[in-house]
Amino acid sequence: MDLAAETGGNCALTAAGQEVVVHGVTIIGAVNLPASLPVHASQMYARNIQELLKLLVAKDGTLKLDFTDEIIKGACVTHPGPTPP
């Protein structure tokens, strides 16, 4: 999901308003995504993102990846270190 698709995107292959599949990866170029969600769904999504960030970021602003936490372990797609447990 490229949330910046309307302004050119964060990926060179993003096409605004389209789903593009390249090498088995689907890039969704959603446009005007906030307008497509009801108010309550947007509020719930924002709350979920806020809670996820609380898990990922320490109070001092540094990234903290605790791979014993099933949410962090399940949400991690890539990591520069050893394979998480």
DSSP string spanning 10-73? SSTT--TT-EEEETTEEEE--SSGGGGS-HHHHHHHHHHHHHHHHHHB-TTS-B---TTSHHHH
pLDDT at site 49: 93
**So what's the pLDDT on residue 83?**
62
Please report, for the chain, the start and end positions of each structural domain, with discontinuous segments joined by +.
Answer: 1-35, 37-77
pLDDT by residue, tens only, the chain of 85 residues:
888 998 989 999 999 999 999 999 999 998 887 777 677 788 899 999 999 999 999 999 998 888 889 998 888 887 776 665 5
pTM confidence score: 0.46
Look at residue 23 in the predicted model and tell me its pLDDT.
94
